[in-house]
Amino acid sequence: MSLEKQMLIEDRLLKVFNDESFKQMLSPEDYTHYLSVKQILKFHKGETIFEDGGTPNGVYFLNKGTAKLSKQGFYGKEHILRFIKEGDLIGYRSLLCGEQFQAKAEAMTDVEATFLPSDVFLHLLEVGPELSFVMLQKIAYELGESSNTVTFLAQKTVRERLAEILLLLEQKLGTDPEGFIKITLTREEIANLVGTATESAIRLISEFKSDGLIEADGRNLKILNRDKLIKLGHVTL
């Protein structure tokens, strides 16, 4: 897992994706236009930010909250691609490729996002070398993560995959004051992430609880023995 690299990229993105930074990049006229067209959008938990197959007309920078990108398979089963949290940007890949959205973005908590129309974002990439560079890093990182996911699903057992997913969620999303991972997932969503049947996910979570690896309070999960999970999942942190 290379979340350290991801956090570094997100920190760099935060430093350049803001009004003060854009003011340095843009001419006074362009900056005035930017201020007039940017929007602060709010989504309640469960609301859709954009639909799979929709036309991209801008990008979304998450200021608050957590969202997920997902794709429906041929039989209507949802596959979660990744989670998005504060400081992350979505919608740019389809925009840069000139194609429809290839996934659905949905708020998993209440979300606040800055929306930038396509013309403004593309112009910022043209005039802002720092933003262009961090976007290249982001794209390269996510391409590498896609390759890792293929290996993850092909070579690890379901038990190993669950251990790694739990560690990944804790590291990426953090924990609340009681130590529970800051996201509530259904057993079906966990099965989806791990790449197994819901029944198998339920059984494994029960086994992890019995083995003292995790605590479960409804949909809330807490890691109790991180070292054993790391060893079980063959994870390099």
Tokens, residue 201: 């996910």
CATH of domain 157-233: 1.10.10.10
Question: Smallest Cα–Cα separation from 233: which of 189, 223, 146?
Answer: 223
pLDDT digits (tens, 9 = 90+) for 79-104: 888 899 999 999 999 999 999 999 99
Residue with tokens 């013309």: 119
Residue 110 has pLDDT above 70, yes or no: yes
- Do you know the residue count of the chain? 237
For residue 153, name the pLDDT band (cuts at 50, 70, 90).
Answer: low
What residue segments make up the domains of the chain, in order of their start?
Answer: 3-153, 157-233
Residue 55 has pLDDT above 50, yes or no: yes
CATH of domain 3-153: 2.60.120.10
Contact assessment for residue 110 and residue 43, using Cβ atoms and an 8 Å cutoff: yes
Tokens, residue 206: 């029960």
pTM of the model: 0.86
Position 237 scores a pLDDT of 59
In one letter, which amino acid is 41? Answer: L
